[in-house]
Amino acid sequence: MLRSLAALAALLGSVWTPPLPAKAAPIETAPPYPRGASDPGTPLRAYPAAPAAGSPGAARALAADEVEGVDATDVALAVPRLALLPVRALLLLLVPPVEGAVALNERYRLKPRVDAALHTDDGDAGIVPTGSFITDFGATVGVRAFHRDAFGHGERLGLSLELGDSTRQQYTLTFGAEHIAHAPVWLRTRLEYEEEPNEPFSGLGDPERAERPAAGGLAPTAGSVDTRFARDTFSVAAGAGPLVESGPFTLRPGAHVRFARHSFGAAESDGPSIEGVYDVTALRGFERTARVLEASGSLSLQSALGDGPGRFTLEGFGGRALAPGDFEYWRWGAETSLRLDLSNEMRLLRLGVGVAGVSDDAPFFALPALGGADRLRGYLTDRFRDTTAVLATLDYQWYVGAHVQGLAFVEAGRVAADPFGGGRWHPSGGFGVLLGDGDESLFRGLVAYGDGLRFYLSADFGGLVRLRGAAP
């Protein structure tokens, strides 16, 4: 794939790119494009010989091709080259980092060295550094300790700490198991405390962009202005249910409960604050302290497609926020995804569609949101909020070199009060590179474009990339 990108860049305007490293394995086994039967090494098209220098034919050719020093070929290709200039610029940005990742990994064997340095000999436990950078939020660093077989039955135990610009501090303790004491019962628990001094808010629904009002008091649904607020959150969550496995199918029903306590305040950034732009009295839930207790049920069906990484997934959930919390509302959602192995694990295609919603009496921080590192990546985190949200994604992942994969994606989403109509669709797309194996990556870099260019960089040397989520 890299050779194709480099060749395309050269074709678009004589772009120099360094030699590409040899791949460890071919991407596909199909023969090269057809050639002539008489000489397999020559292209199909034949070109006439050029006239000899000094001959009348050469003089006529020179007169036809050059007029006052202007090359006729350059004139003919001027418009196509101008139209393809953004593609050329993108290739110049995309190819060198991917080449560098392949060369660096193949030369220093990064994946095996990291595994050996930061994990136990059996690979079940480790203490690893983490880090990320996201446009509009800055950098975050942290450390994560984990054990994938804590009590000898495949139980997963994790403890993490993060510090940075978007998250002043975050502490997370998780515990889970697929088979509790070898029984067909799964369990998930999570305890977390997080301080976020600069959370984004850009209005409710999908209003048009608006100028910042001099006196504030803008209705949340009347216009979109990028503002910030501070939030501290303490939460505890648990889920459990039976696990039914039959052939390629896995059925996972579950019951869940979650309690969260939110404390809101003024943002610490120099940009506009939510209270200086919007009428926060019209923003349900923006009290100094808000408590939420949710109970819900879920159902997940997963089917493997063959022996490779291909699979089909269908998930749904529904629940209600209850007293003694400060709010009572309904929450629901569904998602389906299809991952196809196109070429013996060398090329993967993923298609996904999801929808989520809450009732009209939900607080603003419980509304489904789009925008950010994993939901409409070309837009600011939580750029769009409303009572329903729909998102469709198409991801293409291909083999580049040992432990290195390329990624290209397109997606579109909308928010509205009605899940079946209304709201504008917002497209997004981009490219990226992943260093790791399968679903686990040591490093992930993404470039996305929606209403602007955004960069996402994330590293987790334990192999589990955790980019910032969009929903609270």
Exposed, middle or buried: residue 48 (CB in 10 Å: 0-12, 13-18, 19+)? exposed
pLDDT by residue (tens digit) across 406-423? 889 999 999 998 877 778
- Cβ atoms 307, 298 nearer than 8 A: no
- Going by pLDDT thresholds of 50, 70 and 90, the confidence category of residue 437 is low
Amino acid 316 reads G
Interacting residues of 98 by C-beta distance below 8 A, sequence separation 6+: 2, 400, 404, 406, 433
Q: pLDDT tens digits for 32-53? A: 333 333 333 333 333 344 445 4
Q: Could you give the residue range(s) of every CATH 2.40.160.50 domain in the chain? A: 109-460
Return all residues near 391 (Cβ < 8 A) that are at least 6 apart: 352, 353, 354, 355, 370, 375, 376, 411, 412, 413
**Strand ranges in 288-403 using DSSP code E only, listed in sequence order:** 289-304, 311-322, 329-341, 347-358, 369-370, 384-385, 388-401
Measured between alpha carbons, how far apart are the two ends of the chain, in Å?
38
Q: Residue 15: its pLDDT value, please?
A: 35
Tokens describing residue 23: 């791949």
Task: Supply the pTM of this predicted model.
Answer: 0.75
Nearest by Cα to 327 from 302, 355, 363: 363
Contact indicator for 187, 180 with CB cutoff of 8 Å: yes
Q: What value does the mean pLDDT of the chain take?
A: 79
Question: Rounded distance, CA 181 to CA 31, Å?
Answer: 52
- The letter for the amino acid at 192 is E
Per-residue confidence (pLDDT) for residue 74, from 0 to 100: 66
Only one residue has tokens 């050329």, namely: 88
125-134 and 453-460 strand pairing: antiparallel
Distance CA 379, CA 97 (A): 23
Identify the residue whose tokens are 């990320």: 132
Instruction: Return the amino acid letter for 74.
Output: D
Report the C-alpha gap between 332 and 348 in whole angstroms.
30
Inform me whether the pLDDT recorded for 218 exceeds 70.
yes
CA distance 155 to 399: 32
The CB-side HSE value for 163 (13 A sphere, CA atoms) comes to 3
> Which residue is associated with the tokens 């039959």?
246
pLDDT at residue 25, rounded to an integer? 36
Phi, psi of 20 (to 5 degrees): -90, 145
User: Nearest CA to 315 among 247, 254, 365, 374?
Assistant: 254
Q: How confident is the model at residue 68 (pLDDT cuts 50, 70, 90)?
A: low
Average pLDDT over every residue of 218-226: 93
Residue 105: band (very low, low, confident or very high) from pLDDT cuts 50, 70, 90:
low
Q: What is the pLDDT of residues 343-394, one digit of tens each?
A: 888 889 999 999 999 999 999 999 999 999 888 999 999 999 999 999 999 9
User: What's the topology of domain 109-460?
Assistant: Porin (2.40.160)
Q: Which pair of structure tokens corresponds to residue 442?
A: 């040591």
